[in-house]
Structure 1
Amino acid sequence: MGRQKRNIAVRFFGGAGNYTTVLEHLCTFVLTENPTETAVLEWCRSNTRATSSDGIRRRLTFLEGIELLEVDADCVRLTQQGLTWLSETDPAVLYELLSDNVRGFETMLEALLDGPKTDAELGAAITAAHPEVNWTDASGPAQHRGWLQSLGYVERSDGVNSLTNSGRGLARRQTSTYPALERGASYTQTDLEDAFDTSFGSYIKGINPRTTDEGELSYIIVKAREDGPYGDEIDGDRFTYIGEGVPEKGDQQLTGANSALLEQSACSTVPVYFFYQPADSDTLRYEGLVDVVDTEYVARDGRMVYQFTMKNLEIGPERFKALMESVSGDIEEDEPALTDDEDEFTEVQRRVRSSSFAKTVTAAYDARCAICGAARESPDGTTDIEAAHIYPKRENGRDTVRNGLALCRLHHWAFDSGWLAVADDYRILVADRPDLEGYEEFAPLENESLTLPTNEEQRPHATFLAAHRERHGFESS
């Protein structure tokens, strides 16, 4: 977010438990009326119990501090995050703004995971976790709690605070860590259910995709059996694994489990844990994380099956996560390096980063072409949007979102071939070649603006844009 975190939240109008209701009305007024600061002060006096201009301004300053509003004397407006929250009224959006800009919210939820607590006990937990806070206002913890109450994460009874179901889910996600599994060690089903905090039912199936509370894929557990029906061939660090669907059911179908592994062969996005069960044992031996390097739908033993080629990653889940996140980090240098250090990553680590680059860039542009704004889909539902490196991958261009553009196939080709480039102010430039076929198609794009990510920290960096222009003979811009 780029700002130093605040030590204390500021209570809002409406009383604890009702902050968000009043806030939604205020944001709607700001969006529809484009008011001055004076008009907002008057709205607050008319629609809340507030009477003090200084008190109202203190609350507006807080909303500006968490990047929900932009406040000027002549105009108060919603930030992009404010527009997102108002359109969705998703508590998670507002919670992220609060926790990103104010210390203690995560600590308070984690403390309540251990059981109900008073405001004073919650304040003590924050003080222990953040000694730099140095509480001077005894009501400080109550102001944090008031926001969590209003978001529906905390409930209060007889002066004691507890987590709601949604609050407990959020707290668990915040504190979740990867299970401490030892490669080569054997585990019972109960051991693994405890480690992953999940239930596998009566037995662990061959392919087990697991999702977050929001329905997003979180990780996959794959099990091979020595005496299984599929004839999985486990030999060394690279092996063949047959998908879900027993022989008596004929050709294998693209089930949810098979789809999950198929997606990982195209783009590694989540950890895939691999276990092997010997024929004479009820336990499963952990073989480590694997990469799904290839998928084929082939004829085998008289039927069609999904045949996955897997390879041991030789890295743990924490390293996997770090590699995934490294492509979306901020670039703070004025002139960042154009290329990655070739010796820094192994072949597998480069694959993980490359997959993360594709996913991060596409998501940043909402799966739309940055040049034409299209979000085309093929008849089978595949989105015709690709993640393009600005400074090319073949030159070891960096896998970072700021060296990327989401482009449709046509404009990806045009950008890579030098028909198109981008100025530092994100205007589209067209090669001055009216003698060549294709010029008339691209010429109308001249000086049009790119469609950019709403998050400024994900927009193309000028260093990469300049290097691309230089490679293709465009004048400095």
Structure 2
Amino acid sequence: MGEHKRNIAVRFFGGAGNYTDVLEDMCGYVLTEGPSEEALFEWIKANTRATSDDGIGNRLRFLGAIGLLEIDADRVRLTERGIQWLSETDPEILFDALTENVSGFETILESLLEGPKTDAELGAAIAADHSEFDWSDSAGPAQHRGWVQSLGYVERTDGTNALTDSGRRLARRVASGLPALERGDYYTQSELEAAFDTSFGSYIKGINPRTDDDGDLAYVIVKAREDGPYGDDLAGDEFTYIGEGVPAKGDQQLTPANAALVDHAEGAVAPVYFFYQPADEDRLRYDGLVDVVDAEYVADPDGERMVYRFTVAHLEVEDPAEFEALADSVSDDSSSDAGEDDEPDLTADEEEFTVTQRRVRSSAFAKRVKAAYDKRCAICGTSRESPAGTVDIEAAHVYPKRENGRDHVRNGLALCRLHHWAFDAGWLAVTDDYRVLVADRPDLEGYEEFVRLEGEELTVPADEEKRPHATFLAAHREMHGFESP
């Protein structure tokens, strides 16, 4: 499958938007009756508007080509995949059958992520994505669209196609290239290598970071073994996980694997898949996506060496596409579109998100802000690093999080720990042209240290869309009693 994909899908019975209704009835008949090919032709004629044997045969051969039917003259059977789809009626099962055997379905979803499109525009997107074949059949886009519409991924209004909520979730996952695994299911190494399109070598190590084509962290696979050497405490929604490096090798080092989890603790935005391997199993149980909450470089319980100890929390987010959408929303929310003369909302609608979703967004906020400032303090320019490899740079909300301030890059500043505290406490504020203001409190200890910063210019990102917005800066000044300059 997939090596010689078809260029064009074949319509089914019932009209676009209703293919799966007729398909479900037909598959039920095939499963219960095991009909001959001739009997199935007669059933189709009796239950649809189809009259042409050639048309019926073409449609049945298409179902055979995508792996739903086995067709012999004396008997038609459902394949294992056909039985699975009939029993679960999960649209993704049928979508996978289509994408594995017909080009262009992924392109349609990814194209619609950009916005609604006509059939002709979808056809142009497929032609651009698949230059290896001549997309010349004008009916082709409609036949593709008819299937994704029937699966509930696309809705059509006045000749224009748009993604539904489920279609958008699937489109994001397709675009990410990441699989959606079933929590609690067991997977062999070969199954995981196929799902992630990667190789783990002779066995799956404890921490497996993977990068994208640009060298950025794409995802991390973390494994814990019941009989492992680290004594991980995995109980509860939040647990500890010891980094890479067995006791025989002494102190653990900041290897690329450990660094990936340290980065995640500092706010790296990439899905972390967590697996558990029981002592009596070769397979790994998928325990869902997790968030690395904290990273510490500490003495192990025996006090004989230093280890990386990570605090890890289970996430309720099941789909990596949803995880990435939540992370992207930090930089894509409405305030990013505000022009210089527009005032973004100071606060976010917290009721819109669950606790887990807010955690993902907060982590993404920290990552986006620190990356925008190259992990250096906007006020003093420092970037200190601890022995554990963690950087003493924090992502500060300009209009504070405690007041429901937005998780948005333009409501953020990268600051060292000292200046983060001073900014939040009201010692420091920032003018609209990014110069430091200092509270006029010479009677308090600390004034002499901070007053030296008065009028100093902040180091802000070159990209104006990542610099603090004047609305957030003004609100912070007002909150702490600074007069507008």
Q: TM-score, normalized by length of structure 1?
A: 0.59
Match of 2:379 among 348, 365, 371: 371
Which structure 2 residues correspond to residues 370-449 of structure 1 after superposition, within 5 A? 370-372=378-380, 374-378=381-385, 383-433=391-441, 446-447=454-455, 449=457
Q: What is the aligned residue count?
A: 335
Work out whether 1:352 is the aligned partner of 2:354: no
Match of 2:313 among 296, 304, 311: 311
The residue type equivalent to 2:300 in the other structure is A
Q: String of CA shifts for 1:101-145, please: whole Å, max 9, x gaps.
A: xx9999989757656357x87999999999xxxxxxxxxxxxxxx
1:216 corresponds to which residue? 216
Aligned with 1:221: secondary structure?
strand
Q: Percent identity?
A: 66
Alpha carbons of structure 1 residues 385 and 124: separation in structure 2 relative to 1, 3 Å: farther
2:300 corresponds to which residue? 299
Match of 1:328 among 302, 325, 331: 331
Aligned with 1:273: secondary structure?
strand
Aligned with 1:343: secondary structure?
helix
The residue type equivalent to 2:329 in the other structure is S
Work out whether 1:461 is the aligned partner of 2:462: no
Residues in 2 aligned to 1:294 and 1:419: alpha-carbon distance in whole angstroms: 28
Q: Would the aligned equivalents of 2:267 and 2:365 in 1 still touch at CA under 8 Å?
A: no
Match of 1:451 among 448, 459, 462: 459
> Cα distance, 1:449 vs. partner?
4.3
Residues in 2 aligned to 1:307 and 1:378: alpha-carbon distance in whole angstroms: 17
Q: Which moved more, 1:381-390 or 1:354-363?
A: 381-390
Q: Which moved more, 1:103-112 or 1:385-394?
A: 103-112
> Cα distance, 1:226 vs. partner?
3.0
Q: Would the aligned equivalents of 2:266 and 2:367 in 1 still touch at CA under 8 Å?
A: no
Q: Would the aligned equivalents of 1:223 and 1:277 in 2 still touch at CA under 8 Å?
A: yes
> Cα distance, 1:241 vs. partner?
3.0
The residue type equivalent to 2:403 in the other structure is E
- Runs of 4+ in structure 1 deviating by more than 6 angstroms, as ranges, are 103-110, 120-130
1:239 corresponds to which residue? 239
> Cα distance, 1:290 vs. partner?
1.4
> Cα distance, 1:174 vs. partner?
8.9
Alpha carbons of structure 1 residues 112 and 203: separation in structure 2 relative to 1, 3 Å: farther
Alpha carbons of structure 1 residues 187 and 473: separation in structure 2 relative to 1, 3 Å: same
> Cα distance, 1:236 vs. partner?
4.3
Residues in 2 aligned to 1:457 and 1:419: alpha-carbon distance in whole angstroms: 26
Match of 2:346 among 331, 338, 341: 338
Q: Which moved more, 1:407-416 or 1:442-451?
A: 442-451
1:3 corresponds to which residue? none
2:22 corresponds to which residue? none
CA-based RMSD: 4.1
The residue type equivalent to 1:270 in the other structure is A
Residues in 1 aligned to 2:302 and 2:138: alpha-carbon distance in whole angstroms: 65
Residues in 2 aligned to 1:406 and 1:313: alpha-carbon distance in whole angstroms: 26
Alpha carbons of structure 1 residues 235 and 179: separation in structure 2 relative to 1, 3 Å: same
Residues in 1 aligned to 2:279 and 2:411: alpha-carbon distance in whole angstroms: 49
> Cα distance, 1:456 vs. partner?
2.2
Q: Would the aligned equivalents of 2:242 and 2:309 in 1 still touch at CA under 8 Å?
A: yes
Q: Would the aligned equivalents of 1:428 and 1:448 in 2 still touch at CA under 8 Å?
A: yes
Q: String of CA shifts for 1:42-67, please: whole Å, max 9, x gaps.
A: xxxxxxxxxxxxxxxxxxxxxxxxxx
Alpha carbons of structure 1 residues 126 and 274: separation in structure 2 relative to 1, 3 Å: same
The residue type equivalent to 1:315 in the other structure is V
Alpha carbons of structure 1 residues 248 and 344: separation in structure 2 relative to 1, 3 Å: same
Alpha carbons of structure 1 residues 114 and 224: separation in structure 2 relative to 1, 3 Å: farther
Alpha carbons of structure 1 residues 247 and 379: separation in structure 2 relative to 1, 3 Å: closer
Larger radius of gyration between Structure 1 and Structure 2: 2
Aligned with 2:286: secondary structure?
strand
> Structure 1: which 5+ runs fail to align?
1-99, 131-172
Residues in 2 aligned to 1:348 and 1:474: alpha-carbon distance in whole angstroms: 36
Match of 2:132 among 116, 119, 126: 116
Residues in 2 aligned to 1:357 and 1:279: alpha-carbon distance in whole angstroms: 39
Which structure 2 residues correspond to residues 8-407 of structure 1 after superposition, within 5 A? 114=130, 116-117=132-133, 175-296=175-296, 297-300=298-301, 303-304=304-305, 305-316=307-318, 317-329=320-332, 330-331=334-335, 332=337, 334-372=342-380, 374-378=381-385, 383-407=391-415
Residues in 1 aligned to 2:442 and 2:236: alpha-carbon distance in whole angstroms: 57
The residue type equivalent to 1:399 in the other structure is D
